[in-house]
Structure formats: structure tokens, C-alpha cells
């Protein structure tokens, strides 16, 4: 996956490119991240990248010309025509389903707004899709870009070891994950559920599925509305709900 990032703060992205699973993916060449800053494309004496909004109002906006030049510069580096995504509170919510679709692309350009955002003419000219990582306002789109890149990079084949890829099943199935335990079997009086020590893989599968469905019902019932549960899943969820009542 090739990602071009248009940002005034490329140094923020070392958290993604130099740490953990995503840092390893960059080192292995599974993810490539390139940067382009509007500041490098501001040619006036003060290298101005922002300006006051027409119509008045608080704050500043990112200027058209430096941003457009920065976008064109990064697009030229893309190995294939990139999908241009703008991170903004006005975007479509980022979901695991959308992450899975984005992970299929060869190249992305991520626009990171600062101040109160960017001139709408850039969105009209260059942006294919606006994405939001949640209903709150941040000081810039960079954290959203890193969230998106992290979620997408995990899905690139070979990035996660086999053991980790099992983690995908629950959320990509559309429900929350089940509880997890590791050694010791007992800690300060708290025991690991016996079923997980039983070695009975079918019982363990059913227990984990029941816990996932039950927790989804308890914490995020709206996620269940879009799901068509199998007979087994419906039965396990019903059992979980009955046990909650007692
Ligand atoms: N919720 C998000 O994904 C998000 C993205 C960017 C951001 N801040 C930069 C910005 C502010 C206003 C308009 C456009 C961009 N805050 C939150």
C-alpha cells in the first residue's frame, strides 16, 4: 500500500512509521508513506499557508494554492491513480467495513486539514471521499490519517502474524470481541473461565461466540440491528440474555 500524506506536520507520523506493527510494515516495504507539506509550496516571503475566511467568523482556513500544489506534488509520486481522502468531522464515519475496502487499494492520498479546515474548492476539485474518525473536532486531520493508516495496514496480508489475524474475525464479523485471558490461571483470586482451560475447541468456540454476541447486545445493541444472525448465533445470544436475567 502506498500512502501520500499532505500535512503541515509530517513529523507527527513517526508514531506510525517508526513503531510497532505499522513501523515493521514500513521497514518491510508492505506500507510506503510519502509526505508533502503545503508550507513547501507557499512561495510568498512569509510562506503563508492560511488565511481568513470570507464572510468573517473565527479562525483561519488553509489556502488553496499551496494546498493544491502540495496535492499535485504527492499525486505525481503515486504508483497508481490514488483515491484522495480528506479527514474531516463532516466525513463519513470510518468503520471496519470501510477499512477493509480501503485496504484493497494500491494507493491513497490523505489530506490533513488544520485550522478550521480547507477552502471548499479543494474538496470540489481534488477530494474523492471525506472520512471522519468520530464525532469530535481535533486540531488537525493528522491523527485521523494515522488511525486510518493503522487500521488499513493491519489488514495487508503478511503484516500481522497468523496468531494476530484471528483478532480480525470478531469486529469484521460485525460484533465486539469476547473476553481474553492468559497465564496465570488464577490471579489474586480471579480465575480464568474453566471452558478456556478445557481444551474442548468446539466448546471454546461457542463460548467465545456467545460472549461476543452478548457483549455486543449489552454495549452496542445497534450493531446487532444490521446483522442476520445464524440459528446458532441467535440461540447463543438468547442463552446469554437469559443468564443476564437470573
Ligand atoms: N473527526 C475527525 O475525523 C476530524 C478530522 C479533522 C479534524 N480537524 C481538522 C479539521 C477541522 C475542521 C474541518 C476539517 C478538518 N478534526 C476531527
Q: Does the C-beta of 7 come closer than 6 Å to ligand 1?
A: no
- Residue identified by cell 463460548 is 207
Strand 50-51 with 61-62, pairing? antiparallel
Which residue, by CA, sits nearest to atom 13 of ligand 1?
117
Mean pLDDT, consecutive 10-residue stretches, the chain (246 aa), reads 98 98 98 98 98 98 98 98 98 97 98 98 98 98 98 97 64 93 98 98 98 98 96 98 93
Can 184 be counted among the known catalytic residues?
Answer: no
Distance (Å) from CA 88 to ligand 1 centroid: 4
Q: Does the C-beta of 127 come closer than 6 Å to ligand 1?
A: no
Residue 110's φ and ψ, nearest 5 degrees, are -110, 120
Distance (Å) from CA 244 to ligand 1 centroid: 40
- Name, in order, each residue with C-beta under 8 angstroms of 41's C-beta and a sequence gap of 6 or more: 65, 66, 67, 69, 70, 73
Distance (Å) from CA 90 to ligand 1 centroid: 8
Can 169 be counted among the known catalytic residues?
Answer: yes
Is the ipTM reported for this complex over the cut 0.85?
yes
What is the dihedral sign for C-alpha 144, 120, 98, 34?
negative
Residue 136's φ and ψ, nearest 5 degrees, are -160, 160
Known binder of ligand: residue 134? yes
Q: Does the C-beta of 53 come closer than 6 Å to ligand 1?
A: no
Can 128 be counted among the known catalytic residues?
Answer: no
Can 116 be counted among the known catalytic residues?
Answer: yes
Amino acid at each position: 500500500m502506498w500512502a501520500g500524506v499532505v500535512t503541515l506536520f509530517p513529523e507527527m507520523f513517526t508514531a506510525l512509521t517508526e513503531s510497532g506493527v505499522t513501523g515493521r510494515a514500513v521497514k518491510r516495504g508492505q506500507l510506503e508513506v510519502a509526505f508533502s507539506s503545503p508550507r513547501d509550496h507557499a512561495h510568498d516571503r512569509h510562506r503563508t499557508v492560511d488565511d481568513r475566511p470570507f464572510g468573517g467568523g473565527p479562525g483561519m482556513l488553509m489556502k488553496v494554492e499551496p494546498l493544491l500544489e502540495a496535492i499535485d506534488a504527492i499525486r505525481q509520486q503515486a504508483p497508481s491513480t490514488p483515491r484522495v481522502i480528506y479527514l474531516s468531522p463532516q466525513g463519513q464515519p470510518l468503520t471496519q467495513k470501510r477499512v477493509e475496502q480501503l485496504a484493497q487499494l494500491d494507493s491513497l492520498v490523505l489530506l490533513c486539514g488544520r485550522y478550521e479546515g480547507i477552502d471548499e474548492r479543494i474538496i470540489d476539485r481534488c477530494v474523492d471521499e471525506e472520512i471522519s474518525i468520530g464525532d469530535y473536532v481535533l486540531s488537525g486531520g493528522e491523527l485521523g490519517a494515522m488511525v486510518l493508516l493503522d487500521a488499513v495496514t493491519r489488514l495487508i496480508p503478511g503484516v500481522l502474524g497468523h496468531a494476530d489475524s484471528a483478532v480480525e474475525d470478531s469486529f469484521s464479523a460485525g460484533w465486539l470481541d469476547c473476553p481474553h485471558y492468559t497465564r496465570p490461571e488464577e490471579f489474586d483470586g480471579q480465575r480464568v473461565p474453566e471452558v478456556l482451560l478445557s481444551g474442548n475447541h468446539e466448546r471454546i468456540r461457542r463460548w467465545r461466540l456467545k460472549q461476543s454476541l452478548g457483549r455486543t447486545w449489552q454495549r452496542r445493541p445497534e450493531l446487532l440491528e444490521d446483522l442476520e444472525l445464524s440459528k446458532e448465533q441467535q440461540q447463543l445470544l438468547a442463552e446469554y440474555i437469559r443468564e443476564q436475567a437470573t
